[in-house]
Amino acid sequence: MTMPSLHGLLRPLGSTGLLVSPLGLGTVKLGRDQGVKYPSGFRIPDDTEAAALLDQARALGINLIDTAPAYGRSEERLGPLLAGQRDAWVIVSKVGEEFEDGQSRFDFSPAHTRRSVERSLQRLQTDRLELVLVHSDGHDVEVLRDSGVYETLAELKREGKILAFGLSGKTVEGGLLALAAGDCAMVTYNLNEQSERPVLDYAAAHGKGILIKKALASGHACLAPGEDPVRKSFELIFGHPGTTSAIIGTINPVHLAHNVRTAAAVLAQSKN
């Protein structure tokens, strides 16, 4: 009996021309264990464990990997780990947030944006990033309108260093502005939090990409006894036509397999 997987289920990321798996692998836990909002502590995997996790994700049909400068050493670890298999992955990284000495700081200036992308290319040992998102501090509209970050990302796209850009934001207004002027928005949408649904509605109507963050409420989803929170979460997320992919930040091989199995079942059910 074959293991359920996401092979054959690639989906277009809006009108970017990129095809991505319905689940993406989030890699904050490969690089950072401070200031993260998870219900239990964890140990950052060593290189052998990280390589095994990436191999498992790929074998299960995942081709989307999500990282960021704010994820500690995630990018610089991924560079060597992805050597020889770069073309198998769609890499999402970010600009705007830096995490140093246990603290976040933000810089959305054109100079820092360009420097950040160049540094991500070096760390990831690659010549292009498929998608770069603005890592918002919550002032989504002001950042997009006033900082020059979007204009700089558009330049980097024209130069071929990035293939698409968008916003990982926190507000409906920011998400809508991000999609109107860019390719993709990353939004929070889960069993506990659905206020950004209008951004998904806009994406569905305008052919834009949507990545879901905190899809499982960072492990905090609460349901009636006997209900599978992963299945209920995916039924909600993939029940919306605007959803492209949900980013799952697990480092547990059992959880990863369960997430893929459940997503495949939900997607198969929605076809019937």
Active site residues: 71
Nearest Cα to Cα of residue 197 among 225, 165, 236, 227: 236
Contact 175, 209 (CB under 8 A): no
Contact 191, 232 (CB under 8 A): yes
Ordered DSSP codes for 61-97:
T--EEE--TTSTTHHHHHHHHTTT-GGG-EEEEEESE
- The CA dihedral of 103, 109, 114, 115, to the nearest 10 degrees, is -40
Q: 33 by DSSP, 3-state: which? A: coil
Long-range contacts of 176-181 (CB under 8 A, 24+ apart): 176/202, 177/140, 177/141, 177/144, 177/145, 178/134, 178/140, 178/144, 179/203, 179/206, 179/208, 181/144, 181/150
